[in-house]
Amino acid sequence: MGKKFELKVAANNQFHFNLKAGNGQVILTSEMYTTKAAALKGINSVQTNAPHDNLYDRRESKRQEPYFVLKATNGQIIGNSEMYSSTSAMENGISSVKTNAPGAPVEDLTVDN
């Protein structure tokens, strides 16, 4: 299957992307973007910022489930993880993003948008 970013159009005609690990599991989901160009810049930002541990904000949901967000150097959130069952599982997720994001190809699933 291979690691990759999947660029998609949501029902509201906004763009978003998922970073998938080699096993096909989604390991990071983007915010919504109003243009395809902005979403592509978001992917580039994830690729650039993913290796830097200090840009991961480790959080806990109201249900006490660990998750993380990846921020750009300007503090803007560029991706969110799923909810994890444990802190160690979340740390494995961060490690997976660090490994998979840099250099991952983009699969454009948009249709002329």
The model's pLDDT over 27-58, given as tens digits with 9 standing for 90+, comes to: 999 999 999 999 999 999 999 999 999 999 99
* Mean pLDDT score, 91-112: 93
> 4-108 domain in CATH 2.30.29.80?
yes
Scan for tokens 């660029």, then name that residue: 7
Tell me the pLDDT band of 112, cut-offs 50, 70 and 90. low
* Mean pLDDT score, 2-6: 91
What whole-number distance in Å separates Cα of residue 17 and Cα of residue 58? 21
Which pTM value belongs to this model?
0.92
What whole-number distance in Å separates Cα of residue 113 and Cα of residue 109? 10
Spell out the domain ranges in the chain.
4-108
pLDDT value at 113 more than 80:
no
Scan for tokens 């989604």, then name that residue: 26
Q: Where are the alpha helices (DSSP H) in the chain?
A: 36-49, 87-100
Q: Backbone phi, then psi, for 77, in 5-degree steps?
A: -70, 130
